[in-house]
């Protein structure tokens, strides 16, 4: 597939490495420009491009940037994206990084808010696993204890594309329902960074509570320095 990755942090960089190794044609962008991605491009074989180029004429585009920065992306970013599947890997960290986002605090799911900002349907995936586990812990299908990743979205065909990609990367994909159900895999849920197998993920999704716990809600204080837990 032709895959664009917008964001070259922990998850974005890991996906660039893994997906190029699988033979996909990968382009990666960040907010600082292609010239700052030369080392990653050399290491992975991915092409360093602008965000507009990462979103244009792709089969799949991964948005993997801090939640609060999604609103800063150009409104016409996906004007040339055609039918590309758009994947959101993000998480809302109001206390450590993002500050308050009213739409999410008012009850919208994190990826529902992202879809609203992008003006595109999204599939939520890769948000609940540590980057180094995504890099190192993929296993062949059928392996006992294979880590499973939940995938949520409203378009069944788009979700199927992402679920196949999850499997190719060495993880079992679990259908987590529509985007309105994606709170079940947000930070604080039973499946967040817990490396469960498929049965465990299904149980965790079923046991999740829609109530956002205080740790994952905004305070009146300004965000401090942030170390990505993934």
Q: What does the pLDDT look like over 3-59, one tens digit per residue?
A: 999 999 999 999 999 999 999 999 999 999 999 999 999 999 999 999 999 999 999
In a domain, residue 106? The reply is yes
Tell me what percent of the residues of the chain surpass a pLDDT of 90. Answer: 91
DSSP for 105-170, written as a single string: HTT--HHHHHHHHHTS--EE-S-SS-HHHHHH----TT-TT--EEEEB-S-HHHHHHHHHHHHHTT
In a domain, residue 162? The reply is yes
At 123-150, the pLDDT tens digits run 999 999 999 999 999 999 999 999 999 9
In a domain, residue 20? The reply is yes
CB 16 within 8 A of CB 73: no
In a domain, residue 24? The reply is yes
The Cα–Cα gap between 192 and 182 comes to 12
Stated pTM of the model:
0.94
Nearest-CA neighbor of 147 among 161, 160, 128, 122?
A: 128
Q: Is residue 73 pLDDT above 70, yes or no? A: yes
Number of domains in the chain: 1
In a domain, residue 137? The reply is yes
180 lies in which domain range?
2-211
CB 138 within 8 A of CB 19: no
In a domain, residue 104? The reply is yes
Q: Return the residue matching tokens 């808010």.
A: 113
Nearest-CA neighbor of 135 among 143, 144, 147?
A: 147
Three-class SS of 13-31: HHHHHHHHHCCCEEEEECC
The Cα–Cα gap between 229 and 28 comes to 22
The Cα–Cα gap between 16 and 28 comes to 7
In a domain, residue 166? The reply is yes
Contacts 24+ apart (CB under 8 A), 44-48: 44/13, 44/16, 44/17, 44/20, 45/20, 46/5, 46/16, 46/19, 46/20
The Cα–Cα gap between 33 and 210 comes to 38
Give the chain's length: 230
The Cα–Cα gap between 224 and 211 comes to 24
**pLDDT given at position 150:** 98
Q: If you average pLDDT over each of 72-86, 109-123, 207-221, which comes out highest? A: 109-123
Q: Is residue 228 pLDDT above 60, yes or no? A: no
CATH code, 99: 3.40.50.720
Q: Where does residue 7 fall: left (phi above 0), alpha (psi -120 to 50 degrees), or beta otherwise?
A: left
In a domain, residue 69? The reply is yes
**pLDDT given at position 219:** 85
């Amino acid at each position: 597939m032709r895959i664009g990755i917008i964001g070259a942090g922990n998850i974005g960089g890991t996906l660039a490495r893994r997906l190029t190794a699988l033979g996909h044609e990968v382009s990666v962008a960040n907010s600082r420009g292609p010239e700052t991605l030369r080392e990653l491009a050399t290491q992975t074989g991915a092409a360093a491009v602008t965000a507009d180029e990462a979103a244009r004429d792709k089969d799949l585009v991964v948005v993997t940037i801090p939640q609060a920065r999604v609103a800063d992306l150009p409104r016409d970013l996906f004007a040339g994206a055609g039918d590309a599947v758009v994947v959101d890997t993000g998480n809302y960290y109001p206390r450590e990084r993002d500050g308050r986002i009213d739409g999410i605090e008012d009850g919208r799911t994190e990826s529902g808010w992202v879809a609203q900002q992008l003006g595109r349907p999204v599939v939520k995936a890769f948000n609940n696993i540590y980057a180094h586990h995504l890099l190192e812990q993929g296993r062949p299908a059928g392996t006992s204890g294979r880590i499973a990743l939940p995938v949520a979205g409203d378009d069944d065909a788009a979700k199927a594309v992402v679920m196949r990609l999850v499997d190719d990367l060495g993880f079992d994909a679990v259908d987590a329902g529509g985007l309105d159900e994606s709170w079940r895999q947000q930070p604080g849920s039973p499946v967040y960074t817990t490396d469960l197998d498929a049965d465990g993920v299904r149980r965790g999704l079923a046991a999740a509570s829609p109530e956002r716990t205080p740790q994952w809600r905004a305070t009146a204080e300004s965000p401090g320095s942030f170390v990505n837990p993934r």
